[in-house]
Chain A
Amino acid sequence: MSDTPAFEDRLARLEEIAGELEAEGIDLAHALALFEEGIENLRAAADELSRAEARVQRLVERADGTFDVVDPRE
Protein backbone atom coordinates (compact mmCIF):
# COMPACT_ATOMS: atom_id res chain seq x y z
CA MET A 1 0.00 0.00 0.00
CA SER A 2 2.89 2.32 0.78
CA ASP A 3 6.65 2.25 0.90
CA THR A 4 6.93 3.33 4.50
CA PRO A 5 7.48 0.42 6.82
CA ALA A 6 4.44 -0.98 8.54
CA PHE A 7 3.82 -0.15 12.14
CA GLU A 8 4.73 -3.64 13.22
CA ASP A 9 8.05 -3.42 11.37
CA ARG A 10 8.84 -0.19 13.13
CA LEU A 11 7.97 -1.73 16.44
CA ALA A 12 10.13 -4.76 15.75
CA ARG A 13 13.04 -2.52 14.72
CA LEU A 14 12.63 -0.49 17.87
CA GLU A 15 12.77 -3.64 19.96
CA GLU A 16 15.95 -4.60 18.15
CA ILE A 17 17.50 -1.20 18.67
CA ALA A 18 16.64 -1.13 22.36
CA GLY A 19 18.09 -4.61 22.76
CA GLU A 20 21.30 -3.67 20.96
CA LEU A 21 21.69 -0.50 22.95
CA GLU A 22 21.31 -2.44 26.16
CA ALA A 23 23.98 -4.94 25.16
CA GLU A 24 27.34 -4.74 26.90
CA GLY A 25 30.30 -3.21 25.21
CA ILE A 26 28.55 -1.55 22.29
CA ASP A 27 30.68 0.89 20.34
CA LEU A 28 29.76 4.46 21.22
CA ALA A 29 29.50 5.76 17.67
CA HIS A 30 27.32 2.80 16.73
CA ALA A 31 25.16 3.36 19.80
CA LEU A 32 24.57 6.97 18.84
CA ALA A 33 23.65 6.01 15.27
CA LEU A 34 21.23 3.42 16.59
CA PHE A 35 19.77 5.88 19.00
CA GLU A 36 19.14 8.37 16.23
CA GLU A 37 17.47 5.72 14.13
CA GLY A 38 15.40 4.70 17.11
CA ILE A 39 14.20 8.20 17.77
CA GLU A 40 13.25 8.57 14.11
CA ASN A 41 11.27 5.33 14.26
CA LEU A 42 9.59 6.32 17.48
CA ARG A 43 8.42 9.58 16.02
CA ALA A 44 7.12 7.96 12.86
CA ALA A 45 5.33 5.24 14.82
CA ALA A 46 3.71 7.75 17.14
CA ASP A 47 2.62 9.75 14.11
CA GLU A 48 1.10 6.70 12.52
CA LEU A 49 -0.67 5.87 15.71
CA SER A 50 -2.27 9.26 15.94
CA ARG A 51 -3.45 9.05 12.34
CA ALA A 52 -4.85 5.50 12.70
CA GLU A 53 -8.46 5.15 11.71
CA ALA A 54 -10.71 2.17 11.16
CA ARG A 55 -12.57 1.90 7.87
CA VAL A 56 -15.57 -0.27 7.23
CA GLN A 57 -16.12 -1.59 3.74
CA ARG A 58 -17.91 -4.37 2.01
CA LEU A 59 -16.78 -7.18 -0.24
CA VAL A 60 -18.62 -7.36 -3.53
CA GLU A 61 -18.12 -10.11 -6.06
CA ARG A 62 -18.56 -9.12 -9.68
CA ALA A 63 -20.08 -11.36 -12.30
CA ASP A 64 -16.66 -12.30 -13.65
CA GLY A 65 -15.60 -13.61 -10.24
CA THR A 66 -13.34 -10.68 -9.40
CA PHE A 67 -13.83 -8.71 -6.24
CA ASP A 68 -14.41 -5.13 -5.28
CA VAL A 69 -14.12 -3.65 -1.84
CA VAL A 70 -16.57 -0.79 -1.66
CA ASP A 71 -17.50 1.77 0.93
CA PRO A 72 -20.95 1.33 2.34
CA ARG A 73 -23.63 3.43 0.72
CA GLU A 74 -24.37 5.87 3.46
Chain B
Amino acid sequence: MVTAYRPATLQEALSMLKETDGIPLSGGTDLMVRLRAAPGTPARFSRPLVYVGSLPELLAVEHSEGGSWSIGAGVPLSDLLKLKGLPEALGAAIREIGSPAIRNTATLGGNICNASPAADSLPALLCLNASARIAGPGGERLQSLEDFITGPGKTALKSGELLVSILIPPAPPMKLFYRKIGTRRANALSKLSVLGMVKIENDTVKDLRLAVGAAAPKVVRIPEAEKSCIGRSVSQVAADHHTLLSMYREKVRPITDQRSTAGYRERTALRLIEEFLTKELSP
Protein backbone atom coordinates (compact mmCIF):
# COMPACT_ATOMS: atom_id res chain seq x y z
CA MET B 1 0.00 0.00 0.00
CA VAL B 2 1.30 3.35 -1.00
CA THR B 3 1.27 6.08 1.55
CA ALA B 4 -0.04 9.46 0.64
CA TYR B 5 -0.07 12.70 2.50
CA ARG B 6 -2.28 15.68 2.06
CA PRO B 7 -0.54 18.51 3.85
CA ALA B 8 -2.61 21.58 4.65
CA THR B 9 0.23 24.07 4.73
CA LEU B 10 3.45 24.61 2.89
CA GLN B 11 5.43 24.06 6.09
CA GLU B 12 3.72 20.75 6.63
CA ALA B 13 4.39 19.76 3.05
CA LEU B 14 8.07 20.61 3.34
CA SER B 15 8.54 18.59 6.45
CA MET B 16 6.71 15.62 4.94
CA LEU B 17 8.84 15.80 1.82
CA LYS B 18 11.93 15.85 3.95
CA GLU B 19 10.94 13.15 6.38
CA THR B 20 9.48 10.70 3.90
CA ASP B 21 11.57 11.41 0.83
CA GLY B 22 8.12 11.78 -0.75
CA ILE B 23 7.28 12.70 -4.31
CA PRO B 24 5.39 15.95 -4.67
CA LEU B 25 2.31 15.46 -6.85
CA SER B 26 0.23 18.30 -8.16
CA GLY B 27 -1.71 17.80 -11.41
CA GLY B 28 -0.30 14.30 -11.74
CA THR B 29 -0.56 14.12 -15.53
CA ASP B 30 3.07 13.21 -15.98
CA LEU B 31 3.64 11.34 -12.75
CA MET B 32 0.62 9.08 -13.13
CA VAL B 33 2.12 7.73 -16.32
CA ARG B 34 5.79 7.93 -15.47
CA LEU B 35 5.62 6.30 -12.07
CA ARG B 36 3.13 3.63 -13.04
CA ALA B 37 4.20 2.26 -16.30
CA ALA B 38 7.89 1.90 -16.76
CA PRO B 39 8.07 -0.57 -19.62
CA GLY B 40 7.25 -4.08 -18.57
CA THR B 41 7.55 -3.30 -14.90
CA PRO B 42 4.67 -3.04 -12.53
CA ALA B 43 2.85 0.06 -11.55
CA ARG B 44 3.84 1.16 -8.11
CA PHE B 45 4.96 4.32 -6.50
CA SER B 46 8.13 3.42 -4.73
CA ARG B 47 8.03 6.46 -2.50
CA PRO B 48 5.17 8.13 -0.63
CA LEU B 49 3.10 10.72 -2.43
CA VAL B 50 2.70 14.21 -1.12
CA TYR B 51 -0.25 16.01 -2.67
CA VAL B 52 0.81 19.62 -2.99
CA GLY B 53 -1.70 20.79 -5.56
CA SER B 54 -4.08 22.41 -3.08
CA LEU B 55 -1.52 24.39 -1.09
CA PRO B 56 -2.49 28.07 -1.19
CA GLU B 57 1.07 29.13 -2.05
CA LEU B 58 1.05 26.90 -5.11
CA LEU B 59 -2.33 28.17 -6.26
CA ALA B 60 -1.63 31.88 -5.85
CA VAL B 61 -1.31 34.13 -8.86
CA GLU B 62 -0.15 37.71 -8.52
CA HIS B 63 0.18 40.35 -11.14
CA SER B 64 1.83 43.57 -10.05
CA GLU B 65 1.09 46.92 -11.51
CA GLY B 66 4.63 47.10 -12.72
CA GLY B 67 3.90 44.10 -14.93
CA SER B 68 5.59 41.30 -13.07
CA TRP B 69 3.90 37.97 -12.46
CA SER B 70 4.09 35.38 -9.77
CA ILE B 71 2.40 32.16 -10.83
CA GLY B 72 1.79 29.33 -8.40
CA ALA B 73 3.38 26.09 -9.53
CA GLY B 74 0.14 24.20 -8.95
CA VAL B 75 -2.25 26.33 -11.00
CA PRO B 76 -3.84 24.30 -13.79
CA LEU B 77 -2.67 25.44 -17.19
CA SER B 78 -6.17 26.17 -18.42
CA ASP B 79 -6.66 28.60 -15.53
CA LEU B 80 -3.56 30.47 -16.65
CA LEU B 81 -5.04 30.89 -20.10
CA LYS B 82 -7.97 32.74 -18.55
CA LEU B 83 -5.75 35.36 -16.90
CA LYS B 84 -5.93 38.81 -18.42
CA GLY B 85 -2.60 40.18 -19.50
CA LEU B 86 -0.69 36.90 -19.20
CA PRO B 87 2.46 37.28 -21.30
CA GLU B 88 1.48 36.34 -24.81
CA ALA B 89 4.45 34.02 -25.26
CA LEU B 90 3.48 31.97 -22.23
CA GLY B 91 -0.14 31.76 -23.35
CA ALA B 92 0.85 30.61 -26.81
CA ALA B 93 3.12 27.94 -25.40
CA ILE B 94 0.57 26.67 -22.89
CA ARG B 95 -2.05 26.32 -25.61
CA GLU B 96 0.26 23.78 -27.24
CA ILE B 97 0.61 21.59 -24.17
CA GLY B 98 -1.42 18.38 -24.41
CA SER B 99 -5.15 18.55 -24.92
CA PRO B 100 -7.76 20.74 -23.23
CA ALA B 101 -8.48 17.85 -20.88
CA ILE B 102 -4.84 17.60 -19.89
CA ARG B 103 -4.48 21.37 -19.47
CA ASN B 104 -7.34 21.31 -17.01
CA THR B 105 -5.24 19.31 -14.58
CA ALA B 106 -1.61 19.73 -15.65
CA THR B 107 0.32 22.55 -14.03
CA LEU B 108 3.08 24.93 -14.98
CA GLY B 109 5.20 23.62 -12.11
CA GLY B 110 4.82 20.10 -13.42
CA ASN B 111 5.82 21.04 -16.93
CA ILE B 112 8.93 22.72 -15.54
CA CYS B 113 9.96 20.10 -12.99
CA ASN B 114 9.51 17.31 -15.51
CA ALA B 115 12.36 19.11 -17.29
CA SER B 116 11.78 17.47 -20.61
CA PRO B 117 13.84 19.06 -23.37
CA ALA B 118 10.55 19.15 -25.24
CA ALA B 119 8.59 20.87 -22.45
CA ASP B 120 6.51 23.46 -24.24
CA SER B 121 6.48 26.12 -21.52
CA LEU B 122 10.26 26.38 -21.18
CA PRO B 123 11.20 28.35 -24.32
CA ALA B 124 8.58 30.93 -23.39
CA LEU B 125 9.58 31.13 -19.75
CA LEU B 126 13.24 31.38 -20.60
CA CYS B 127 12.58 34.19 -23.07
CA LEU B 128 10.60 35.92 -20.35
CA ASN B 129 13.63 35.59 -18.02
CA ALA B 130 11.50 33.75 -15.50
CA SER B 131 12.84 32.41 -12.24
CA ALA B 132 11.84 29.73 -9.83
CA ARG B 133 10.84 30.36 -6.23
CA ILE B 134 11.86 27.32 -4.30
CA ALA B 135 10.96 26.45 -0.74
CA GLY B 136 13.03 24.02 1.28
CA PRO B 137 14.00 23.01 4.75
CA GLY B 138 16.41 25.92 4.95
CA GLY B 139 13.92 28.54 3.74
CA GLU B 140 13.30 29.98 0.34
CA ARG B 141 15.58 30.66 -2.57
CA LEU B 142 15.24 32.12 -6.03
CA GLN B 143 16.92 30.70 -9.09
CA SER B 144 16.72 31.62 -12.73
CA LEU B 145 14.91 28.97 -14.76
CA GLU B 146 17.90 28.84 -17.05
CA ASP B 147 19.92 27.44 -14.14
CA PHE B 148 17.03 25.57 -12.56
CA ILE B 149 16.84 23.16 -15.47
CA THR B 150 20.10 21.27 -15.45
CA GLY B 151 19.51 18.65 -18.14
CA PRO B 152 16.97 16.26 -19.57
CA GLY B 153 14.68 15.33 -16.69
CA LYS B 154 16.97 17.07 -14.21
CA THR B 155 16.43 20.16 -12.10
CA ALA B 156 18.34 21.93 -9.38
CA LEU B 157 15.70 20.93 -6.83
CA LYS B 158 17.36 19.38 -3.83
CA SER B 159 15.86 16.69 -1.69
CA GLY B 160 13.03 18.12 0.39
CA GLU B 161 12.66 21.19 -1.80
CA LEU B 162 9.52 22.24 -3.63
CA LEU B 163 8.93 24.58 -6.54
CA VAL B 164 6.40 27.04 -5.19
CA SER B 165 5.96 29.58 -7.92
CA ILE B 166 7.37 31.04 -11.07
CA LEU B 167 8.32 34.69 -11.19
CA ILE B 168 8.21 36.61 -14.42
CA PRO B 169 9.70 40.10 -14.45
CA PRO B 170 8.00 42.91 -16.36
CA ALA B 171 8.63 42.79 -20.07
CA PRO B 172 7.91 45.44 -22.67
CA PRO B 173 5.23 44.62 -25.22
CA MET B 174 6.93 42.56 -27.87
CA LYS B 175 5.97 40.91 -31.08
CA LEU B 176 5.74 37.16 -30.76
CA PHE B 177 6.90 34.46 -33.13
CA TYR B 178 6.07 30.91 -32.12
CA ARG B 179 6.24 27.71 -34.09
CA LYS B 180 5.84 24.26 -32.66
CA ILE B 181 6.38 21.21 -34.81
CA GLY B 182 4.62 18.18 -33.37
CA THR B 183 3.85 14.65 -34.45
CA ARG B 184 0.37 15.85 -35.33
CA ARG B 185 -1.52 19.11 -35.16
CA ALA B 186 -2.98 18.55 -31.71
CA ASN B 187 -2.18 16.82 -28.41
CA ALA B 188 1.30 16.33 -29.73
CA LEU B 189 4.65 16.16 -28.06
CA SER B 190 7.07 18.66 -29.46
CA LYS B 191 9.55 17.57 -32.09
CA LEU B 192 10.84 21.08 -32.07
CA SER B 193 9.75 24.57 -31.15
CA VAL B 194 11.11 28.03 -31.84
CA LEU B 195 9.96 31.03 -29.88
CA GLY B 196 11.09 34.54 -30.65
CA MET B 197 10.14 37.89 -29.16
CA VAL B 198 11.15 41.20 -30.58
CA LYS B 199 10.62 44.86 -29.87
CA ILE B 200 11.19 47.25 -32.72
CA GLU B 201 11.06 51.03 -32.64
CA ASN B 202 11.63 53.13 -35.73
CA ASP B 203 12.95 50.19 -37.60
CA THR B 204 15.52 49.51 -34.89
CA VAL B 205 15.64 46.37 -32.82
CA LYS B 206 15.30 47.41 -29.19
CA ASP B 207 14.97 43.99 -27.67
CA LEU B 208 15.18 40.50 -29.08
CA ARG B 209 14.93 37.08 -27.46
CA LEU B 210 14.98 33.71 -29.09
CA ALA B 211 14.66 30.20 -27.67
CA VAL B 212 14.67 26.79 -29.31
CA GLY B 213 13.03 23.82 -27.60
CA ALA B 214 13.62 20.10 -28.16
CA ALA B 215 16.79 20.88 -30.06
CA ALA B 216 19.39 20.18 -27.39
CA PRO B 217 19.53 18.72 -23.88
CA LYS B 218 18.30 22.09 -22.63
CA VAL B 219 16.37 24.90 -24.25
CA VAL B 220 18.79 26.89 -26.42
CA ARG B 221 19.05 30.60 -25.80
CA ILE B 222 22.17 32.54 -26.86
CA PRO B 223 22.48 35.93 -25.15
CA GLU B 224 25.42 37.06 -27.34
CA ALA B 225 23.45 36.41 -30.49
CA GLU B 226 20.47 38.29 -29.17
CA LYS B 227 22.59 41.20 -28.01
CA SER B 228 24.26 41.49 -31.36
CA CYS B 229 20.90 42.33 -32.91
CA ILE B 230 19.97 45.06 -30.51
CA GLY B 231 20.44 48.56 -31.80
CA ARG B 232 20.61 47.45 -35.39
CA SER B 233 18.04 48.03 -38.07
CA VAL B 234 15.67 45.32 -39.12
CA SER B 235 17.23 45.11 -42.56
CA GLN B 236 20.73 44.88 -41.09
CA VAL B 237 19.69 41.94 -38.93
CA ALA B 238 18.04 40.27 -41.91
CA ALA B 239 21.08 40.85 -44.09
CA ASP B 240 23.38 39.40 -41.47
CA HIS B 241 21.22 36.45 -40.50
CA HIS B 242 23.80 33.96 -41.77
CA THR B 243 26.22 34.99 -39.03
CA LEU B 244 23.50 34.60 -36.45
CA LEU B 245 22.43 31.29 -37.87
CA SER B 246 25.94 29.96 -37.59
CA MET B 247 25.90 30.82 -33.89
CA TYR B 248 22.70 28.84 -33.45
CA ARG B 249 24.02 26.00 -35.59
CA GLU B 250 26.76 25.59 -32.97
CA LYS B 251 24.28 25.22 -30.12
CA VAL B 252 21.44 23.35 -31.75
CA ARG B 253 22.42 19.78 -31.01
CA PRO B 254 19.30 17.69 -31.36
CA ILE B 255 19.04 13.97 -30.99
CA THR B 256 17.32 11.38 -33.11
CA ASP B 257 14.53 9.66 -31.26
CA GLN B 258 11.22 7.98 -31.97
CA ARG B 259 9.63 11.33 -32.71
CA SER B 260 12.04 12.86 -35.17
CA THR B 261 15.53 12.80 -36.55
CA ALA B 262 18.37 15.03 -35.52
CA GLY B 263 18.75 16.18 -39.11
CA TYR B 264 15.16 17.26 -39.44
CA ARG B 265 15.21 19.02 -36.10
CA GLU B 266 18.36 20.92 -36.94
CA ARG B 267 17.24 21.88 -40.44
CA THR B 268 13.84 22.98 -39.29
CA ALA B 269 15.16 24.87 -36.27
CA LEU B 270 17.55 26.86 -38.42
CA ARG B 271 14.89 27.41 -41.01
CA LEU B 272 12.47 28.79 -38.44
CA ILE B 273 15.15 30.98 -36.87
CA GLU B 274 15.87 32.29 -40.34
CA GLU B 275 12.20 32.97 -40.85
CA PHE B 276 12.09 34.88 -37.60
CA LEU B 277 15.16 36.95 -38.34
CA THR B 278 14.36 37.73 -41.95
CA LYS B 279 10.59 37.78 -42.29
CA GLU B 280 9.03 38.31 -38.92
CA LEU B 281 10.98 41.33 -37.76
CA SER B 282 9.48 43.67 -40.29
CA PRO B 283 6.09 44.88 -39.17
Q: Do A and B bind each other?
A: no
